[in-house]
């Protein structure tokens, strides 16, 4: 069920939003709806992405080759 929402916007902001909507062939209403959808689902997407990364790293442990350098060589700052 869709509900109505009344917003009060600065005239310059509304004018700019209308230009963006026109450029995207949509409405200010649609822009607001898309933005609210984006920010309310962002945390869920982040959690899913992190879970996928954690699962990936658990299933595919990385291999590191033999260390062939010394700390001094690593931090050698010859000009």
State how many domains the chain has.
1
Q: DSSP string spanning 11-38?
A: HHHHHHHHHHHHHTTS-HHHHHHHHHHH
Q: Indicate whether 17 belongs to any domain.
A: yes
CA dihedral (19, 25, 28, 33) positive or negative: negative
pLDDT digits (tens, 9 = 90+) for 15-54: 999 999 999 999 999 999 999 999 988 888 889 999 999 9
Q: Indicate whether 20 belongs to any domain.
A: yes
Task: Tell me the whole-structure pTM to 2 decimals.
Answer: 0.57
pLDDT digits (tens, 9 = 90+) for 3-15: 999 999 999 999 9
Q: What is the DSSP letter of 75?
A: T
Q: Indicate whether 30 belongs to any domain.
A: yes
pLDDT at 52: 94
């Amino acid at each position: 069920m869709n509900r109505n929402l009344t917003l009060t916007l600065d005239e310059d902001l509304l004018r700019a939003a209308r230009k963006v909507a026109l450029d995207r062939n949509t409405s200010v209403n649609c822009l607001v709806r898309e933005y609210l959808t984006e920010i309310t689902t962002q945390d869920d997407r982040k959690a899913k992405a992190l879970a996928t990364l954690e699962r990936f790293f658990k299933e595919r442990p990385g291999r590191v080759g033999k260390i062939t350098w010394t700390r001094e060589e690593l931090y050698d700052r010859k000009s």
